[in-house]
Structure 1
Amino acid sequence: MDAQTIRDKVEAIKGKRDALIRLLEQPDLGTLRIDVNQALEEMDDLLEEFDRTFPAG
């Protein structure tokens, strides 16, 4: 897998982050809110680590 393919896949994942944000806005989420919040935190950490490891340029 080349670097551009990996970057494209990471961009697709970034796009799906918005779905988790919208899910958090649902008032009837209940205890699932904890899991969605955790997923967002982990996704943000992984995206940050990716950007540090493979800086754009």
Structure 2
Amino acid sequence: MDIQTIKERIAIVQSKRDYLLSLLEQPNIGTLRIDVNQALEELDDLLDEFRRTVPEAGNN
């Protein structure tokens, strides 16, 4: 897999972060809030690791 394909896929995953944030705004998600918070934390960690691994990716 080439770096451009990876960058495109990372961009898609990154766009899903907004959906997770919108879920947190829902008052009726109950204990699912814990899972959504965990998913956001892990997603942020993965995106940070990608930016450290491919520094020029942070400029896109």
Runs of 4+ in 1 over 4 A off after TM superposition: none
| Equivalent residue number for residue 20 of structure 1 | 20
| TM-score, normalised by the number of residues in structure 1 | 0.96
| Equivalent residue number for residue 42 of structure 2 | 42
CA RMSD, 1 decimal: 0.9
Higher helix share: 2
Q: Is there any run of 5+ residues in structure 2 with no aligned partner, and where?
A: none
For residue 26 of structure 2, give the secondary structure of its aligned residue in structure 1. Answer: coil
CA distance in 1, matches of 2:46, 2:19: 17
| TM-score, normalised by the number of residues in structure 2 | 0.92
Count of residue pairs the alignment pairs up: 57
Q: Is there any run of 5+ residues in structure 1 with no aligned partner, and where?
A: none
Q: What is the identity percentage for the equivalent residue pairs of Structure 1 and Structure 2?
A: 63
